[in-house]
Chains A and B, each alone.
Chain A
Amino acid sequence: MSNTEINVEKLTAKDFSSGIDVRWCPGCGDYSILAQVQRTLPNIENIEKEKVVWVSGIGCSSRFPYYMGTYGFHGIHGRAPAIATGLKIARPDLTVWVATGDGDLLSIGGNHFIHACRKNIDLKIILFNNQIYGLTKGQYSPTSEKGKVTKTSPYGSVDYPFNATSLALGSNASFVARTIDREPKHMAEMIDRAAAHKGLAFIEVYQNCPIFNDGTFSELTEKDTKEDNVVILEHGKPMVFGKNKEKGIKLEGFHPVIVDLNDPKNSIDDCLVHNEKDDSLIRGFILAHLTDSPDMPTPIGVFRQRIKPTYDEAMVEQIDQVTKKKGKGSLEKLLFTQNTWEVK
């Protein structure tokens, strides 16, 4: 079958469902992610379903590939980025997605994650961050807040959490975004943008686990609080938030401060204008770490997007160059090199 053949009939969400019963707990944020992925992928231009592969590790989130009507690989704990890397390098023609959780990606799989980012492997990684170990029934995770009381931290966790977005930025991921399970439209937009990005795309999804960590993100999702607690990052636009967009974020040196835009002393022109293409990582880090301060809103959106050659692309290019120079490999030449001698 030719690779260039284009699907004539339009794919739908249903085509991206494997049809098996989804077995997450009722109310789990994972449902929303699944729905948005299944809804978004069919709209991607020229998508060939058989060329999409979902790879996962272990955890609630990692059941994701079973529910997708695409090729899928449910791997072992933490190793999804590594499995996906091998697959993508071997088959650059495929679109490889990774579904993973905070324990899977940031604890046991932390090493694979940072290196996949660093190498700019053309993978799309969706982190289902519920700040808890769900499948093992409720232990604190590497993104759980300090002081969290769980089964393994009955007196409160003494661990400092990872900020996943900051870690991805620090590892030089070429596309870094954050979204929330309860913001389907925004999530769909992030998925769409990640799919369009050539290079490693990382999306952190704040995902509610109603069973073991219910309401952890409620301030960001409840109607009466979310507008005051979430700032939506949009390229080229000033950072404003609040019910009536009456608050803005301004940088004083390297310090972000909230300004009241109702006060005539302040102008929207003073607010930080979001630039996803910023050469410097500094503003990205400042934004990623707004969550460190309880007074600051939590940014969602694309933090950063850089276009640079991907690892898999560069490897193919190198192979092509060497092959051009040396000619296609010949086993005869390979085995019978110059240092041979003949015994008669």
Chain B
Amino acid sequence: MSEVREIQEKHIDEVTVRFAGDSGDGMQLTGTQFSDTTAVVGNDLSTLPDYPAEIRAPAGTLYGVSGFQLHFSSSDIHTPGDVPDVLVAMNPAALKKNLSELKRSGLIIVNSDSFDKKNLKLAEYESNPLEDGSLSGFDVMDIPITTLTYAALEDTELSQKEKSRCKNFFALGLMYWLYNRPMEPTIDWIEKKFKNKPQFIDANEKALKAGYNFGDITERFATRYTIEPAKLKPGIYRNISGNEATALGFVVAAEKAGLNLFLGSYPITPASDILQYLSNYKEFGVKTFQAEDEIAGIASAIGAAFGGNLAITTTSGPGLALKTEATGLAVMTELPLVIVNVQRGGPSTGLPTKTEQADLLQSMYGRNGESPVAIVAAATPSDCFNMAIEASRLALTYMSPVILLTDGYLANGSEPWNIPAVDSIPEIPVKFHTEVENYHSYSRDEKLARPWAIPGTKGLEHRIGGLEKANITGDVSYDPDNHFEMVKLREEKIQKMKDSIPDLEVEGDKDAEILVIGWGGTYGAIKEAVIHTRKKGYKVAQAHFKFIHPFPKNTEEVLRKYKHVLLPEINLGQLAKVLKSEFLIPIEQFNVVRGLPFRVGDIENKIIDVLGGSNE
């Protein structure tokens, strides 16, 4: 029996932890479990999974390192954290790859068993960093996690290899102890996950508990931390990732519109999750068609839209490029369609698992002809839910394709979500046209939407297609004046959407000298930077675009109010280009394209820089 020792309990406000290991070490799982438990405990949190494009790169190598960063706090937070306070490194490669980003004097927990000759060499270490003093500035806990896991699983019937695979649960248990989290949510999860493999339930639980108990008994940890629940707005919460929120948003939109949901999609990182989630919701009548390619994904969705479904297609950058021509067909046939682009690093295959915002111009202009589509963008992981509904609403109300832009960071990142009451989400009124009298396939209502007359409706047999249509009758027309009219009508219809989208909201100082604008997944980083600079005494305001085509009605008015307008984007200035050309307003750009979300500190510095430097 170990003696009861003195452990200092320390209350802290926030902490950023990064789990890192081989792609096969289960770091994404460990991170997700830690996040879910942290959410249940009531902290605010934000996560950033960072994994390589290779599924199982050779073990121990630098390029095979997979990471999961998590920022949690007793108050409101908006980003996964700039620099981790704690690094859990399961092998030398994970340490090497992540050390430079760790906070000075931060805590490093390493699996010392993995620091053998072979792994050190694979990580390109010339000497063992645990011994050569190179980590002297940090608080290093070298723990033989593999050995301790084996010991804990001594009396199980698992093979050595299977035992070894439980070591991430040991690490997770230890972290639960260190940050005072309960083990029950993970134990529940393990029991569900391995329902049919009781030996794994037993082993993983043992490893988890062994890690937790190790924290309790080892002399090494003198301090244990508590992070009080955050004072979030009252409500029922769950932790949610952007991709799951997107999927749920569409299920809700379809129900609210009284339509069946059809998804035509081809698997692509980082969008595949949406297809996966939606494939589960059969009890909602959701039809998911895993198409033979990206083009068939959108083409099938167009077919389904013609048939009267809420039709969507999901993809990422290269897939959007492939869907280009068919998107034009949806523009010409004026069918409701939502195209989700979970943006990733480009061009070409680019950085499949990393985030970027560089598909805005592709979405705006990347088609032949004058081919306007509506564009909306989600701001946070949980906002993907709202924007999926908004995108559906615009598509159905205006009979138009709508592109919903999210990104790899939003898609895989997660945050607590204040779940809206189902009744509070407005219905989306949809009426199929059935009147035979005076029916014209390209007549328009006051919103400029054409009637949606679906096959099966007697007397309304009509033909649509990619050839130019005569206004009102919908017959094929090559008439020059008609074409010009239709080109204008199609754009005008998109502009009409202004009537039903919310104004651009401004947060922050009323008398701000600088307005920081943004769009999409940069919301959290900008928000935190604005909060920090305001705390330092600068007069700063923020406005974030969720509707980009068309822009909200008050856009120009808002932009003209401020001496400086700063626009950080993870591209070379795509929204800046659009805004400048539309409003002829000078915009300060801040562009960083590293495949990663913005660092709050960088935006902060830029704001101060634009305002003429430090006021201290």
A-B contact list, 10 entries, CB within 8 Å: A18-B463, A55-B303, A73-B306, A85-B300, A88-B303, A90-B287, A91-B454, A91-B456, A337-B238, A339-B185
Say yes or no: B260 contacts A90, CB within 8 Å: yes
Q: How far is the CB of B576 from chain A (nearest CB, A)?
A: 33
Instruction: Chain A residues near B144: list those with CB within 8 A.
Output: none
Say yes or no: A73 contacts B262, CB within 8 Å: no
Q: How far is the CB of B264 from chain A (nearest CB, A)?
A: 6
How many residue pairs at the A-B interface have CB separations less than 8 Å? 206
What separation, in Å, do the CA atoms of A70 and B36 have in the docked complex?
54
Write the B277-296 contact mask toward A (1 if CB under 8 angstroms, else 0). 00001111101010111011
Instruction: Chain A residues near B232: list those with CB within 8 A.
Output: 343
Write the B443-485 contact mask toward A (1 if CB under 8 angstroms, else 0). 0000000000011111111111111000000011000000000
Instruction: Chain B residues near A344: list those with CB within 8 A.
Output: 234
Write the B258-269 contact mask toward A (1 if CB under 8 angstroms, else 0). 001010100000
Which one of A157-165, A289-297, A325-333 is at the interface? A325-333
A340-B419 in contact given A50-B455, A115-B296 (Cβ < 8 Å) = yes
Q: How far is the CB of B558 from chain A (nearest CB, A)?
A: 32
What separation, in Å, do the CA atoms of A329 and B283 have in the docked complex?
5
Q: Taking the complex as formed, is A263 at the interface, i.e. its CB lies under 8 A from any CB of chain B?
A: no
Which one of A176-184, A193-201, A220-228, A316-324 is at the interface? A316-324
Instruction: Chain A residues near B308: list those with CB within 8 A.
Output: 90-91
Write the A58-100 contact mask toward B (1 if CB under 8 angstroms, else 0). 1000000110111111111001001111111111011000000
Q: Taking the complex as formed, is A1 at the interface, i.e. its CB lies under 8 A from any CB of chain B?
A: yes
Q: Taking the complex as formed, is B39 at the interface, i.e. its CB lies under 8 A from any CB of chain A?
A: yes
Say yes or no: A1 contacts B458, CB within 8 Å: yes
A79-B295 in contact given A66-B463, A72-B463 (Cβ < 8 Å) = yes
Q: Which residue of B lies closest to A342 (CB)?
A: B236
Say yes or no: A86 contacts B303, CB within 8 Å: yes
Say yes or no: B422 contacts A76, CB within 8 Å: no
Instruction: Chain A residues near B463: list those with CB within 8 A.
Output: 18, 65-66, 68, 71-74
Looking at the complex, which one of B36, B301, B419 makes contact with A335 (CB distance below 8 Å)? Answer: B419
Say yes or no: A343 contacts B237, CB within 8 Å: yes
Looking at the complex, which one of A88, A323, A340 makes contact with B282 (CB distance below 8 Å)? Answer: A323
- Interface hub of A58, A79, A111, A322 (most chain B Cβ within 10 A): A79
Q: Taking the complex as formed, is B5 at the interface, i.e. its CB lies under 8 A from any CB of chain A?
A: no
Say yes or no: B456 contacts A86, CB within 8 Å: no
Instruction: Chain A residues near B476: list those with CB within 8 A.
Output: 66
Say yes or no: A334 contacts B300, CB within 8 Å: no
What separation, in Å, do the CA atoms of A72 and B460 have in the docked complex?
11
What separation, in Å, do the CA atoms of A93 and B325 have in the docked complex?
28
Q: How far is the CB of B73 from chain A (nearest CB, A)?
A: 14
Instruction: Chain B residues near A73: list those with CB within 8 A.
Output: 303, 306, 333, 463-465
A82-B461 in contact given A90-B304, A343-B235 (Cβ < 8 Å) = no
Q: Which residue of B lies closest to A332 (CB)?
A: B422
Q: Which residue of B lies closest to A78 (CB)?
A: B295
Say yes or no: A89 contacts B234, CB within 8 Å: no
Q: Which residue of A lies closest to B291 (CB)?
A: A82
Instruction: Chain A residues near B460: list those with CB within 8 A.
Output: 50
What separation, in Å, do the CA atoms of A68 and B42 have in the docked complex?
62
Q: Taking the complex as formed, is A254 at the interface, i.e. its CB lies under 8 A from any CB of chain B?
A: no
4 smallest CB-CB distances across A and B, nearest first, come from: A74-B465, A86-B300, A86-B303, A82-B299
Instruction: Chain A residues near B237: list those with CB within 8 A.
Output: 340-343
**7 more A-B contacts (CB under 8 A) besides A86-B301, A86-B304?**
A50-B457, A53-B306, A53-B455, A66-B476, A90-B311, A115-B296, A342-B236
Say yes or no: A91 contacts B307, CB within 8 Å: yes
What separation, in Å, do the CA atoms of A138 and B325 have in the docked complex?
24
Say yes or no: B296 contacts A111, CB within 8 Å: yes
Q: Taking the complex as formed, is A155 at the interface, i.e. its CB lies under 8 A from any CB of chain B?
A: no
Looking at the complex, which one of A48, A90, A111, A319 makes contact with B307 (CB distance below 8 Å)? Answer: A90
Instruction: Chain A residues near B284: list those with CB within 8 A.
Output: 329, 334
A89-B300 in contact given A53-B455, A112-B292 (Cβ < 8 Å) = yes
Q: Taking the complex as formed, is B326 at the interface, i.e. its CB lies under 8 A from any CB of chain A?
A: yes
Q: Which residue of B lies closest to A85 (CB)?
A: B300
Looking at the complex, which one of B281, B295, B300 makes contact with A329 (CB distance below 8 Å)? Answer: B281
What separation, in Å, do the CA atoms of A190 and B248 have in the docked complex?
46
Instruction: Chain A residues near B234: list those with CB within 8 A.
Output: 342-344
Q: How far is the CB of B386 from chain A (nearest CB, A)?
A: 13
A89-B302 in contact given A18-B463, A50-B456, A65-B463 (Cβ < 8 Å) = no
Instruction: Chain B residues near A65: list those with CB within 8 A.
Output: 463, 465
Q: Taking the complex as formed, is A306 at the interface, i.e. its CB lies under 8 A from any CB of chain B?
A: no
Q: Taking the complex as formed, is B76 at the interface, i.e. its CB lies under 8 A from any CB of chain A?
A: no
Say yes or no: B461 contacts A70, CB within 8 Å: yes
Say yes or no: A76 contacts B326, CB within 8 Å: yes
Say yes or no: B236 contacts A94, CB within 8 Å: no
Q: How large is the interface on B (under 10, 10 to 19, 20 to 34, 35 or more residues)?
A: 35 or more
Write the B24-61 contact mask toward A (1 if CB under 8 angstroms, else 0). 00000000000010011010000000000000000000
Write the B586-610 contact mask toward A (1 if CB under 8 angstroms, else 0). 0000000000000000000000000
Say yes or no: B306 contacts A87, CB within 8 Å: yes
Write the B302-338 contact mask toward A (1 if CB under 8 angstroms, else 0). 1111111101000000000000011011000100000
Q: How far is the CB of A234 from chain B (nearest CB, A)?
A: 34
A340-B251 in contact given A72-B464, A82-B295 (Cβ < 8 Å) = no
Q: Which residue of A lies closest to B260 (CB)?
A: A90
Instruction: Chain A residues near B392: list those with CB within 8 A.
Output: none
Q: Taking the complex as formed, is B384 at the interface, i.e. its CB lies under 8 A from any CB of chain A?
A: no
A76-B300 in contact given A82-B295, A90-B262, A339-B239 (Cβ < 8 Å) = no
Instruction: Chain B residues near A251: list those with CB within 8 A.
Output: none
A74-B467 in contact given A50-B461, A82-B291, A340-B236 (Cβ < 8 Å) = yes
Say yes or no: B287 contacts A328, CB within 8 Å: no
Q: Taking the complex as formed, is B233 at the interface, i.e. its CB lies under 8 A from any CB of chain A?
A: yes
Q: How far is the CB of B441 from chain A (nearest CB, A)?
A: 10
Instruction: Chain A residues near B418: list those with CB within 8 A.
Output: 343
Q: Which residue of A lies closest to B454 (CB)?
A: A91
Say yes or no: B283 contacts A335, CB within 8 Å: no
Q: Taking the complex as formed, is B252 at the interface, i.e. its CB lies under 8 A from any CB of chain A?
A: yes
Q: Taking the complex as formed, is A307 at the interface, i.e. its CB lies under 8 A from any CB of chain B?
A: no
What separation, in Å, do the CA atoms of A103 and B154 have in the docked complex?
66
Say yes or no: A318 contacts B42, CB within 8 Å: no
A75-B42 in contact given A86-B304, A334-B251 (Cβ < 8 Å) = no
Q: How far is the CB of B479 from chain A (nearest CB, A)?
A: 16
A75-B299 in contact given A86-B304, A343-B42 (Cβ < 8 Å) = yes
What separation, in Å, do the CA atoms of A141 and B210 have in the docked complex?
69
Say yes or no: A51 contacts B455, CB within 8 Å: yes
Instruction: Chain B residues near A341: list those with CB within 8 A.
Output: 39-40, 42, 236-238
Q: How far is the CB of A87 from chain B (nearest CB, A)?
A: 4
Q: Taking the complex as formed, is A35 at the interface, i.e. its CB lies under 8 A from any CB of chain B?
A: no
Q: Taking the complex as formed, is A235 at the interface, i.e. its CB lies under 8 A from any CB of chain B?
A: no
Say yes or no: B283 contacts A93, CB within 8 Å: no
- Interface hub of A70, A331, A332 (most chain B Cβ within 10 A): A331
Q: Taking the complex as formed, is B228 at the interface, i.e. its CB lies under 8 A from any CB of chain A?
A: no
Q: Which residue of A lies closest to B463 (CB)?
A: A72
Q: How far is the CB of A326 from chain B (nearest CB, A)?
A: 4
Say yes or no: A322 contacts B301, CB within 8 Å: no
What separation, in Å, do the CA atoms of A71 and B463 have in the docked complex?
6
Q: Taking the complex as formed, is B491 at the interface, i.e. its CB lies under 8 A from any CB of chain A?
A: no
Q: How far is the CB of B275 from chain A (nearest CB, A)?
A: 15
